Amino acid sequence: MSNTPSTPPADDADIKRMSFEEALDALEKIVSDLERGDVPLEQSIRIFERGEKLKGHCDRLLGAAEDKVEKIKLSRAGKPAGVEPLDPD
pLDDT digits (tens, 9 = 90+) for 23-78: 999 999 999 999 999 999 999 999 999 999 999 999 999 988 877 766 777 778 87
Output the pLDDT for position 22.
96
Please give the residue that has the higher pLDDT: either 79 or 40: 40
Q: Could you tell me the pTM of the whole model?
A: 0.69
What is the gyration radius of the CA atoms in the chain, in angstroms? 20
Confidence check: pLDDT of 17 > 70: yes
E-only strand ranges, the chain: 70-74, 80-85
Output the pLDDT for position 46.
94
